[in-house]
Amino acid sequence: MVSVGDICKALEQIAPSALSEDFDNTGLLVGDPSQEVDRILVCHDALEAVVDEAIALNASMIVCFHPIIFKGLKTITPENYVSRSVLKAIEHKVSIYALHTRFDKVMGGVSDLMAKALNLTDVQVLVPEEDHTGFGRIGNLPEALSASAFLALIAKTFETPMVRHSAFIEKNIHRVAVLGGSGAFAIQNAKALGADAYISADFKYHDFFQGEANFLLADVGHYESERFTKNAIAQKLREKFPNFAVTLSEIKTNPVKYYTYG
């Protein structure tokens, strides 16, 4: 028998809870560690539709990247998307476990996946911590690209219909920094380590002023920057439990939609 607690121990090995940021809410958010698990559903966001998917698949545990409970709940009533998901999960005895910043910083996590997708070499941590982990990665492209060719590459790699960016730079782009999710806080780190370009998400208007003649900022979208995450989590769980059913959610939970004119 595999229990929720067994899965929790494996996830602790994959991405230790000690790596979680203080503001974060990771680990077992819903469920009983002693409950038996017959199937795991891996997703990006544990929305109500994903809980419905788990119920239909007889999956008694959801492992997600983003924590569905983040700021805390004062009531659990069907009045908002968070409470509806949690209420349904409890009703149907579906456990929910979130990784978030633990998987952002761990080796092989979100930013490493971005770097791998771009075939970066000589990769190092962008915002290092004492244990050799940390947010973001920086490395070199296999060959230098013009700004326009670089933007075309990342639009294709991260499957986004739109890349928000600062003004084009005149030199070719070779050294690239990446950070999955909201990464404006590391713009100066990218500059200090000699990046020609920095790929992340959720840049605000004034953030783009930090783009310079030799430094390009590219916002590919929050969900898009993390698009490889659930597949990697599922693969790591399959390695831990090779004879156990680990299923990828088929629901795309990106709340951002794009309208193109003309």
> Alpha helices of the chain — where are they, by DSSP H?
4-14, 48-56, 81-91, 101-105, 110-117, 147-157, 187-192, 222-225, 229-240
Fold agreement between 4-102+227-248 and 107-220: yes
Cα–Cα distance for residue pair 209/79, rounded to 1 Å = 40
What pLDDT score was predicted for residue 72?
79
Cα–Cα distance for residue pair 37/128, rounded to 1 Å = 36
The correct answer on CATH 3.30.70.100 for the domain covering 4-102+227-248 is: no
According to DSSP, the β-strands at 95-98 and 121-128 are: unpaired
What pLDDT score was predicted for residue 75?
86
What pLDDT score was predicted for residue 185?
98
Residue 143, helix vs strand vs coil: strand
Contact 224, 33 (CB under 8 A): no
Q: Is 47 exposed, middle or buried (0-12, 13-18, 19+ CB in 10 A)?
A: buried
Give CATH for domain 107-220: 3.40.1390.30
What pLDDT score was predicted for residue 245?
96
Cα–Cα distance for residue pair 200/112, rounded to 1 Å = 13
According to DSSP, the β-strands at 164-165 and 216-219 are: antiparallel
What pLDDT score was predicted for residue 262?
73
What pLDDT score was predicted for residue 74?
84
What pLDDT score was predicted for residue 31?
97
Contact 208, 151 (CB under 8 A): no
From first to last of the 262 residues of the chain, give the pLDDT tens digit: 899 999 999 999 999 999 999 999 999 999 999 999 999 999 999 999 999 999 999 999 999 999 999 987 888 889 899 999 999 999 999 999 999 999 999 999 999 999 999 999 999 999 999 888 999 999 999 999 999 999 999 999 999 999 999 999 989 999 999 999 999 999 999 999 999 999 999 999 999 999 999 999 999 999 999 999 999 999 999 999 998 999 999 999 999 999 988 7
**Residue corresponding to tokens 């806080």:** 185
With b for 16 or more beta-carbon neighbours within 10 A and e for fewer, the 159-192 pattern comes to ebeebebbeebeeebbbbbbbbbebbebbebbee
Domains of the chain: which residue ranges?
4-102+227-248, 107-220
Written as six digits, the tokens of 249 are 């959610």
